Amino acid sequence: MTELTIALDAMGGDQGPGIVVTALERALSSFTHVHFILVGDEAVLTPLLQRYPKVVASSRVSMQHASQVVAMDDKPSAVLRAKPDSSMRGVLELVHNGTAQGCVSAGNTGALMAMSYLTLKTLPGVLRPALVASLPQQDGGQSLLLDLGANPTCDAETLCQFAVMGSVMAQQVNKQAQPRVALLNMGREDLKGHDVVKHAAQLLKASTHVNYIGFVEGNDLFSSTADVIVCDGFTGNIALKSCEGLAELLYDNLRKSFSGHFFTKLVAKLLFRRHRKSWQWLNPDQYNGASLLGLRGVVMKSHGNASANAYFSAISHAIDEAAADLPSLIHDRIEDALLERVTDQRD
Amino acid sequence: MTELTIALDAMGGDQGPGIVVTALERALSSFTHVHFILVGDEAVLTPLLQRYPKVVASSRVSMQHASQVVAMDDKPSAVLRAKPDSSMRGVLELVHNGTAQGCVSAGNTGALMAMSYLTLKTLPGVLRPALVASLPQQDGGQSLLLDLGANPTCDAETLCQFAVMGSVMAQQVNKQAQPRVALLNMGREDLKGHDVVKHAAQLLKASTHVNYIGFVEGNDLFSSTADVIVCDGFTGNIALKSCEGLAELLYDNLRKSFSGHFFTKLVAKLLFRRHRKSWQWLNPDQYNGASLLGLRGVVMKSHGNASANAYFSAISHAIDEAAADLPSLIHDRIEDALLERVTDQRD
């Protein structure tokens, strides 16, 4: 297997670098062919690493100092000039100059998107990068939802490119041979929705590069109906966060309803332990990691308050994408799709 | 108390007229000052009513024959001409000619919206009607979300009118003195989102007719942060249906995880019965009923596959709105808001 290097932004995220180093320790034993570069403030990392002798001893870990940290409330537009030596910028530069094949950061999403776009640039022909994440499905599988917020508005051409990029990712990462691609809409009928989504549907119907199955609705996000669900970043962001909000509410009420009597609590605990497996698919940790697709390199965004296990998931997703050389595959397919459009228009 | 009349579309919905008549029977004893007109096919309703002697005997129930039914898959644009004698059209005409102060239908949403718009017309000054529904909140309260799909796209002025209409409804129906109004966006910061939502925020900040608190995100839909949450119909539809999808998935998995061993099933049942109260707020029945705001009359959409209890909820929401004369109150506030805009522009 080819040797890979993944750069980790040790400083981003709400939980501090301890989470990142704990995840790195686990990744070292799980991925024995992968090298890691930990980027962050040495004054913080050096004392911390003393608690991780395996990480320190490993020949597959190197450190790179970065004097600045992108804060969660830093303005994406300002951070590029104001913090030239941030750990976030550091990992992106390592991907840009080819030292690393992918990077992971739990920092400020807006800043990571803006900085990735400027540092790595989009692949030739790609109109806009898209943020994509996996959703658990009713049948136990996974579907991809994109865009999740990189683009507040999108034109029809951009949505079609997201469909192509999502298809490539579903094939390579989720091992789906003929991923079913759908557009997220307010109804399944052709007449439903606004002009952009209707235009995108026409373009996708004509494309041979995407297995387009039609419109799906919000309640299909988890129904195993489609493998790739495409929408603009505004819609995707609100759909995903609405579900997060509902899940929090339900969890909160479940917890409250089991917090009364001692016996009830005990029974509830035993019951949930017994059936933990059935709930495993819902464990948010394993779904942590949103990729930025369409860039000249693999960039993985971990959730800001990810646990070490969740950060480990993001690392393993980054390794999967880097191992498949996802950016090259997307490049090829986007080029083919563009060629098809040009040929169609000539005919 | 003033006597009210509510017209019920007996034929719409997936569950058939039995649901509607059962709900009507319950409404007759709960709302002793309200008259009801049951609109539908006599050939179907007459034999059915034999099973409901209380309904037949009541002096507060009258029947009106309608020979046609709007099907769930009828095209909204075609149904207006193709089915002039539908039960849906019947209830809207009763509101239009002042015989009824409100109506309820569980039929085809698109057809109901189009037909309401054409039969009742919007209130003077109202740009577009909006579909609004209640969402359960973490603190046990309720918030209103609009638009849920009447308008795939909206300009900033329209979103501001939705904010005004939602405020009036929150005051009158949810009894919130100073309802907190927010715009649904992909982030809370001023710079987030697309041009329309940013422009709407500017307009709302300048308005004295709305207690505008800023942007909220998807995960605030249930967080008791705002009493009225405003968005375009595409976004609202997808946010609400995404939550429905997740709720279905969770419920399905909960059921599966408790379907194994006999003992587990028994304990789970006892546990959930004991804690039913904590789950009551989540009961979708009590949230059934989406209002069409901005029209010259009260129109309530019940869910297509609503139970009798859920349909009863929709009836009681329609009665609340009709009793408050919500259309008149919205008319006054929209007029005031328009006057303020004109004065501002002159200054």
Report pLDDT for A324: 95
How far is CA B184 from its chain centroid?
19
Chain B hits for A238, Cβ within 8 Å: 184, 186, 217-218, 231, 235, 238-239
Per DSSP, chain A holds a count of helices (H) and strands (E) of 13, 11
Residue B189 binned pLDDT confidence (cut-offs 50, 70, 90): confident
Distance (Å, whole) CA A107 – CA B259:
42
DSSP A50: T
Chain A hits for B71, Cβ within 8 Å: none
Predicted confidence (pLDDT) per residue in A275-332, tens digit: 454 444 455 566 678 999 999 999 999 988 888 999 999 999 999 999 999 999 999 9
Sheet holding B298-301, edge to edge: B61-65, B34-40, B4-9, B102-105, B298-301, B290-293, B130-136, B142-146, B228-230, B180-184, B211-216
Report pLDDT for B278: 45
Nearest to A257 among B191, B244, B279 (CB): B279
| 8 Å CB contact of B237 and A243 | no
Answer with the residue of higher pLDDT: A226 or A347: A226
Predicted confidence (pLDDT) per residue in B286-332, tens digit: 667 899 999 999 999 998 888 899 999 999 999 999 999 999 999 99
Chain A hits for B274, Cβ within 8 Å: 264
Answer with the residue of higher pLDDT: B264 or A228: A228
Nearest to A278 among B138, B234, B253 (CB): B253
Residues facing A40 on adjacent strands:
A65
What is the complex's ipTM, to 2 decimals? 0.89
The reply to whether B184 touches chain A by the CB within 8 Å rule is yes
Q: Domains of chain B (ranges plus CATH)?
A: 1-126+294-324 (3.40.718.10)
| 8 Å CB contact of B219 and A245 | yes
Please give, rounded to a whole number of angstroms, the shortest distance from the CA of B179 to a CA of chain A.
Answer: 21
Answer with the residue of higher pLDDT: A286 or A54: A54
Nearest to A257 among B247, B260, B275 (CB): B275
- Which three-class secondary structure state does DSSP give residue A276? helix
| 8 Å CB contact of A233 and B274 | no
The reply to whether A178 touches chain B by the CB within 8 Å rule is no
Nearest to B218 among A153, A239, A249 (CB): A239
* A168 pLDDT more than 70: yes
**Residues 104..143 of A with a Cβ closer than 8 Å to B: which?**
110, 136, 138
**Residues 254..313 of A with a Cβ closer than 8 Å to B: which?**
256-258, 260, 264, 267-268, 271, 274-275, 278-279, 281-282
The reply to whether A234 touches chain B by the CB within 8 Å rule is yes
| 8 Å CB contact of A218 and B242 | yes
Distance (Å, whole) CA B50 – CA B207:
55
The pair of structure tokens assigned to A103 is 């990077």
